[in-house]
Amino acid sequence: RKFVYDFEEGNRDLKDLLGGKGANLAEMTNLGLPVPPGFTITTDACRAFLDTGDVPGQREISEHLAALEQKMGRRLGDSEDPLLVSVRSGAKFSMPGMMETVLNVGLTDASVAGLAAQAGGDERFAWDSYRRLIQMFGKTVCDVPGAEFEHALDDVKRRAGTREDVGLQAEHLRELVGDYKRIFREHTGRDFPQDPREQLDLAIGAVFRSWNADRAVLYRRQERIPSNLGTAVNVVAMVFGNLGADSGTGVAFTRDPATGERGVYGDYLANAQGEDVVAGIRNTVPLQDLEQRDKASYDELMSIMATLEEHYKDLCDIEFTIERGKLWMLQTRVGKRTAAAAFVIATHLVDEGVIDLDEAVQRVTGAQLAQLMFPTFDLGGAPEQLTRGVGASPGAAVGKAVFDAQHAVAMAKEGEAVILVRRETNPDDLPGMIAAQGILTSRGGKTSHAAVVARGMGKTCVCGADELDVNLHKGQFTVDGHVVSEGDVISVDGTTGRVYLGEVPVQPSPVVQYFEGTLDPQADALVAAVHRILTHADERRRLRVRTNADTGADAARARRFGAQGVGLCRTEHMFLGPRRELVERLILAQSDPVKREAALAELLPLQRDDFIELFREMAGLPVTVRLIDPPLHEFLPPLEQLAVKVAVAEERGEDPGHDRDLLDAVRRMHEANPMLGLRGVRLGLVIPGLFAMQVRAIVQAAAAVPDSHPEIMVPLVGAVQELETIRAEAEKIIGEFAVDVKIGTMIEVPRAALTAGDIAQAADFFSFGTNDLTQMGWGFSRDDVEGAFFWRYLELGIFGVSPFESIDRDGVGRLVRIAVDEGRAARPDLHFGVCGEHGGDPDSVHFFHEVGLDYVSCSPFRVPVARLEAGRAAI
Ligand code: ADP
Ligand code: MG
Ligand code: MG
């Protein structure tokens, strides 16, 4: 096995092995761009290291290091003329700021003088680089608390009478190195290593180990990145942005990652090393300012960015450093972007002739579309604007200001909506960022940690609101005369960067307005892009998309959103409200056919009118109506409430009458496991006339509404005999009217999936009820397990995502496959759909496409998401 690759040997397709950073450094090297020389130790080596605790390929590392020294004409840590390197993490999937990087490796008490000599006698620079090494090395390799170093730095600044790092002179920094070395010794029980090669080896091990740092583990779980990939390590010859005013470092995007608009976008910081920009330690200047400072480097950078876009055919983000007027490229990748930018960029690239529409559809996701359907603020009430920062990740978030990540987590657990307010965030804030509705920081640009992580999570974020004076200890911020304390409500607009005092009402997003038909698609660049991409997805997809809707209003909205029918109408919703009393009468009349018929006769016209409304809204399209599914006792008052009522009445010497009968019924009907009790088709078989009434209502409504296409769906069938019995009864009623009504069943009991060939004999269609199929497939009672212990299952990696959220392909999915294959074999014209919540889940939609379903059905707001994903699945 080969564990080490020079940059010349790799390329961008080797991300599995070299990580994204290493693969792209290799790609840039081979494009002839100015990348400092270096090599990559593979993810394979990381996996071996995590198994054994030893870094494999030592000999290879030595050889590649020797070659690097040769190329640079310098030896690692040489006292006269040292080569310094950075040791950088870089996994297959970008995990911004989650793992470790150590800069300036190779500096020692001896080589610090050599470095100063290299820099033309710049002692300040040499000591600054050395103190950075001890700080980073101490923190990441030896777990020295970072705050210790920061305190020491603050102390030196105070003694030197300056507030800025750049105000420190060489002697201050030398003093600081002494302090840092002492801190290092106190915490590790040893001296800071003076052997450059030992520094390198320790740093490599630490980077590998950082794959399993808590925050990295948490981030991977959140982003659904597999935990067994490992990171590569890149060893890169150092270039220095901290060599004075003609040096600096920056990050840039080839397009605006927030809006997708054309034009480069970036942040630059003079006289600094790379970490300073990302950490938001000092406020950066816009990249455009570089043009005045150093036109040659700026022009070269622009031309390199054009080369990269042309090469990667997509938005790229880059890290660069200028060392005394010489530009160096330190990183590139296809850049993260907001959901809005993803749509806009994809269509711009089509217009520019770079990609075709098929590719544009692949460049966006249903999850991104879902984000664009979030509501935005309604500013009609002229809310009080506190300040404005950089809109780093869009959305409208309202919540109580909280200044501490742990506190944010605790309050969110209590059900509070919170906004995490920080000066800047760092990876330790991750749990708080996940718990918060939104994030607000006073420092850092669109490329700061807060911005990058929030965008990745689709969480609202405003950063760099530099008018905010954030006081973490007091738990408050002040701005423009206002004091906002922990617990005060603020509203944060991640699109515009505006921050408001109090709760600002929200309104539908432009994309939703477009779906609703109240906004012309050409009125807005983003909406135009969404329109174009969805239209193409519709042309490509094979899956049809229906909606789950119980009312005419829901059906009408879903139709505007593109639904091609109703896949699930839950009739039990038609038994609620004032009609509950009729259900009570039905239940109490169980042994009295006359009373029962009377109650059913009253329910019939009510149901019929509901169906008429639904069928009208969906005229021309199929509407699948599920016969009543839940146990009837769910319609009765709770046991305790009734028992108290009856007891009170008896106490007063009154006759509890009706309540007593109800109480008896509730006691009689009590079930230990209602989910597995008298429900679904079992109700139809046990309670005479109930299903017949519903069928009659459906058929009468169908006869009343022109161009209606009802489909009757029987829930919870496990045996074909169940379905046959109901079917015979229904066909008799249907025969009385001249209407065409299909009869099918849900496949939601495992036995139904396993005997699908038989069940198909009595069904015109199957609709997979994947919620129940998951419950019964896993033996999970959803209500009991999700909150109680699913977190533990996720933590243990038993599944990477809840099987209720995304279909479990191997288990529940296998049941679906069996049912499709055997059902279709038995009856080639059988229709297949899905009506569980999975119908609106992007991953699951791809699965349903693969197994050959005819349609998915989902909630109205998920319809556009399913349309897009069905298109993506078909391309
Ligand atoms: P991350 O993945 O957290 O961005 P990086 O490995 O990219 O970590 O490094 C952190 C910072 O150090 C970046 O700004 C990067 O540009 C800078 N950096 C890394 N290697 C070098 C180097 N050889 N010379 C100068 N700067 C470097
Ligand atoms: Mg980086
Ligand atoms: Mg069900």
The predicted-structure confidence for 768-777, as pLDDT tens digits, reads as follows 999 999 999 9
SS3 at position 13: helix
CATH architecture under which domain 541-571+621-629+697-874 falls: Alpha-Beta Barrel (3.20)
- pLDDT tens string 79-106: 999 999 999 999 999 887 778 889 999 9
Provide CATH 1.20.80.30 ranges for the chain.
Answer: 61-237
Place 281 in a pLDDT band, splitting at 50, 70 and 90.
low
Please state, in angstroms and as integers, the Cα–Cα distance from residue 251 to each residue in 167, 261, 328, following that order: 24, 17, 12
Relative to the CA of 99, which ligand 1 atom is closest? 3
Q: Is the dihedral of CA 858, 864, 867, 868 positive or negative?
A: negative
Identify whether the C-beta of residue 833 lies closer than 8 Å to the C-beta of residue 765. Answer: yes
CATH 3.30.470.20 maps onto the chain at 248-334
Residues with CB under 6 Å of ligand 1 are 36, 86, 88, 97, 101, 103, 236-239, 273-275, 278, 319, 321, 330-331
Task: Note if 835 is an active site residue.
Answer: yes
Alpha carbon nearest to ligand 1 atom 15, residue:
274
pLDDT of residue 94: 87
Every domain range in the chain assigned CATH 3.50.30.10: 374-507
Atom of ligand 1 nearest to the CA of 239: 24
* C-alpha of residue 335 to centroid of ligand 1, in Å: 16
Q: Which of 17, 137, 138 is nearest to 84 (CA)?
A: 137
Mean pLDDT of the chain: 93
Q: Mapping DSSP to helix (H, G, I), strand (E, B) and coil, where does residue 392 land?
A: strand
Residues whose CB falls within 8 Å of the CB of residue 783, separated by 6 or more in sequence, listed in order: none
Residue nearest to atom 16 of ligand 1 (CA): 274
Q: Please calculate the CA angle 105-110-115 and round it to the nearest 5 degrees.
A: 60
Return left, alpha or beta for 224; rule: phi > 0 is left, psi -120 to 50 is alpha, else beta. left
For the segment 539-555, what is each residue's pLDDT rounded down to a tens digit?
999 999 999 999 999 99
Q: Each residue of 121-131: pLDDT tens digit? A: 999 999 999 99
Phi, psi of 303 (to 5 degrees): -70, -35
Instruction: Give the C-alpha separation, 528 to 314, whole Å.
Output: 19
CATH assignment, 248-334: 3.30.470.20
Nearest-CA residue for ligand 1 atom 10 is 275
Pick from 133, 327, 331, 332 the residue to mutate for probing ligand 1's pocket: most ligand atoms within 8 Å of its CB.
331
Q: Which atom of ligand 1 is nearest to the CA of 274?
A: 14
Supply φ then ψ for residue 462, to 5 degrees.
-120, 130
If you measure from the C-alpha of residue 278 to the centroid of ligand 2, how many angstroms do you get, rounded to a whole number? Answer: 8
Rounded-to-integer distance, Cα 840 and Cα 373, Å: 14
Mutation test residue for ligand 1: of 71, 88, 236, the one with most atoms within 8 Å of CB: 88
Minimum CA distance residue for ligand 1 atom 18: 274
Q: Does 3.20.19.10 match the CATH number of domain 374-507?
A: no
Of the candidates 151, 70, 867, 760, which has an alpha carbon nearest to the alpha carbon of residue 538? 867
Is residue 77 pLDDT above 90, yes or no?
A: yes
Residue with CA closest to ligand 1 atom 8: 101
98 CA: nearest ligand 1 atom: 3
Evaluate if residue 788 carries a pLDDT over 70.
Answer: no
Q: Whose CA is nearest to atom 3 of ligand 1?
A: 97
| 172, 348, 449, 838: the active-site residue | 449
> Kind of pairing, strands 82-83 and 75-76?
parallel
Protein residue with its CA nearest to atom 19 in ligand 1: 86
DSSP one-letter code for 854: S
Q: What is the ipTM of this complex?
A: 0.96
Residue 265 Cα distances to 118, 315, 525, 529, angstroms: 33, 11, 19, 21
Nearest CA to ligand 1 atom 23: 238
Query: 237 alpha carbon to ligand 2 midpoint, in Å?
Result: 15
Q: Does domain 61-237 have CATH number 1.20.80.30?
A: yes
Helix axes 123-142, 146-160, angle to 10 degrees: 160
d(CA 173, CA 170): 5
- Residue 399 CA, ligand 2 centroid: distance in Å: 32
Which listed residue (835, 838, 849, 858) is catalytic?
835
Atom index in ligand 1 nearest the CA of residue 273 equals 26
Percentage of residues of the chain with pLDDT beyond 90: 78
User: Ligand 1: which atom is nearest the Cα of residue 234?
Assistant: 6
For ligand 1, what atom is nearest to the CA of residue 319? 16
Q: How far is the CA of 331 from the centre of ligand 2 (A)?
A: 6
Q: How far is the centre of ligand 2, averaged over its atoms, from the C-alpha of 837 (Å)?
A: 38
The closest residue, in CA terms, to atom 6 on ligand 1 is 88
Nearest alpha carbon to residue 338 among 253, 398, 399: 253
How far apart, in whole angstroms, are the C-alpha atoms of residue 154 and residue 163?
8
Q: Tokens 């049912």 identify what position?
A: 819
* Confidence band, pLDDT 50/70/90 cuts, at residue 786: low
Ligand nearest to the CA of 88: 1
Nearest bound ligand to the CA of residue 768 = 3
The structure tokens listed for 667 are: 């006691």
DSSP letter, residue 14: G
* First-to-final CA distance of the chain: 37
Which residues share a beta bridge with 419? 401, 438
Any catalytic annotation for residue 846?
no
**Helix, strand or coil, per DSSP, at residue 579:** helix
CA distances from 509 to 460, 504, 774 (A): 14, 15, 33
What distance in angstroms lies between residue 103's CA and the mean position of ligand 1's atoms? 7
Got the DSSP string for 710-755? EEEEETT--SHHHHHHHHHHHHHHHHTTT---EEEEEE-SHHHHHT
pLDDT at 545: 98
Provide CB contacts within 8 A for 198, sequence distance 6+.
none
Q: Is 654 exposed, middle or buried (0-12, 13-18, 19+ CB in 10 A)?
A: exposed
729-765 exposure pattern, b = at least 16 Cβ within 10 A, e = fewer: bbeebbeeeebebbbbbbbbbbebbbbbbbbbebbbb
Give the residue with greater pLDDT, 846 vs 221: 846
Query: Cα(715) to centroid of ligand 3, in Å?
Result: 7
Residues whose CB is under 5 A from ligand 3 (ion)?
A: 748, 769, 772
User: Which residues have CB under 8 Å from 457's CB, separation 6+?
Assistant: 222, 223, 393, 433, 434
Task: Out of 58-72, 613-627, 797-811, pick the least confident.
Answer: 797-811
How far is the centre of ligand 3, averaged over its atoms, from the C-alpha of 835 (Å)?
9
Pairing mode of beta strands 82-83, 285-286: unpaired
What stretch(es) of the chain map to CATH 3.20.20.60? 541-571+621-629+697-874
Mean predicted confidence (pLDDT) in 267-293: 84
Phi, psi at 485, each rounded to 5°:
-100, 165
Task: Among 101, 231, 284, name the best residue to mutate to test ligand 1's pocket (greatest count of ligand atoms within 8 A of Cβ).
Answer: 101
pLDDT of 493-505, one tens digit each?
A: 998 899 999 999 9
Ligand 2 geometric centre to CA of 28 (Å): 15
Distance CA 151, CA 865 (A): 50
Residues 6+ away with beta carbon under 8 Å from 647? none
pLDDT digits over 13-27, tens only? 999 999 999 999 999
* Reported confidence tier of residue 278, pLDDT bands at 50, 70, 90: low
Q: Whose CA is nearest to atom 26 of ligand 1?
A: 274
Residue 115 exposure: Cα atoms within 13 Å on the Cβ side: 27
How high is the pLDDT of residue 795?
A: 66
